[in-house]
Amino acid sequence: MRGSFENLVVEGVARFLVPFIQLFALYVITHGHYGPGGGFQGGVVLAASMMLLRLSLGEEYEHRRFSPTVASTVAAVGMLIYAVAGLLPLAWGGNFLDYAYLPIPGLSSAELRYHGILIVETAVGLVVWGTLVILFDHLIGREP
């Protein structure tokens, strides 16, 4: 089943734009160290691309590629990554969320904290992405 529009232009433009939106979302997440950006904003942009596909191509069609189950899994995995990134330094002799004690060999303390921030931003991006797709899917569901 197609979306509520049955319009070739809407469908084509959505199909054309979505890869660029998702690439931009990855850029926003990874560029958070050097400018405006980060996990929260990038996750929202990724979720927006999913919502555009669901609106233009139809829910049932899009659910085959990114189902609500996958969305909740993504959110939970993001939370797990964040918690593990906090607990690993605890096991290696530091404080909770002290990335200077992350077990990555061959890096200085400042570089370890740089990479810890990247891991945490990615985790936050996954949580926001999954949660916003969950919100969209469940809010527009039909009346039982």
How far from 60 is each of 12, 88, 123, 134, CA to CA, in Å?
Answer: 18, 40, 28, 15
- Which residue from 45, 137, 130 is spatially nearest to 79, judged by alpha carbons? 130
Minimal distance, residue 130 CB to other proteins, in Å:
7
SS3 content of the chain, % helix, strand, coil (to 5): 75, 0, 25
Minimal distance, residue 87 CB to other proteins, in Å:
11
Among the candidate windows 1-9, 17-25, 50-58, 110-118, which touches other proteins by CB under 8 A?
110-118
Map the footprint of other proteins across residues 14-33, applying CB under 8 A. 32-33
By the rule CB under 8 A, 46 interacts with other proteins:
no
Query: Which residue in this structure is represented by tokens 């596909």?
Result: 53
Q: Contacts by 116-119 with C-beta closer than 8 Å and gap 24+? A: 116/85, 117/33, 118/30, 118/33, 119/81, 119/85
By the rule CB under 8 A, 139 interacts with other proteins:
yes
Minimal distance, residue 105 CB to other proteins, in Å:
18
By the rule CB under 8 A, 94 interacts with other proteins:
no
Which residues here bind other proteins, judged by CB under 8 A?
Answer: 32-40, 44, 68, 72, 75-76, 78-79, 82-83, 86, 96-97, 99, 109-111, 113-114, 116-117, 120-121, 123-124, 127-128, 130-132, 134-135, 137-139, 141-144
